[in-house]
């Protein structure tokens, strides 16, 4: 029976990607960001607390740390609102 030719319909159909598949992939990627985002927010909070307790004349450093914390808090809020 090694001479038998496979019937064309017996071949598996190629994968078809649908909009639903794309949405599921995006949803999974969105969920995967949560832990990394929360780590960033936590580290920024620690840095902001430390910079406020640190005596420095470097106003740009204080601004950068505080503003980074503010931006990440807004991103966190937007992430959970989406």
Q: Give me 8's structure tokens.
A: 């064309």
| H or E, element range at 7 | none
Q: What is the pLDDT of residue 6?
A: 66
Among 40, 10, 31, residue whose Cα is nearest residue 82: 31
Q: Of 2, 80, 82, which is closest to residue 41 (Cα–Cα)?
A: 80
Q: Write out the two tokens for 11.
A: 């071949």
Question: What's the pLDDT at 11?
Answer: 63
**pLDDT tens for the 82 residues of the chain, in order:** 566 666 666 666 667 667 678 888 888 988 999 999 999 999 999 999 999 999 999 999 999 999 999 999 999 999 999 7
pTM of the model: 0.67
Query: What per-residue confidence (pLDDT) applies to 7?
Result: 65
């Amino acid at each position: 029976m090694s001479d038998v030719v496979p019937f064309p319909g017996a071949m598996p159909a190629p994968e078809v990607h649908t909009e639903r598949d794309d949405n599921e992939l995006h949803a999974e990627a969105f969920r995967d960001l949560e832990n990394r985002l929360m780590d960033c927010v936590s580290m920024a909070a620690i840095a902001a607390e430390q910079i406020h307790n640190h005596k420095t004349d470097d106003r740009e450093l204080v601004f950068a740390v505080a503003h980074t914390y503010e931006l990440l808090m807004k991103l966190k809020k937007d992430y959970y609102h989406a």
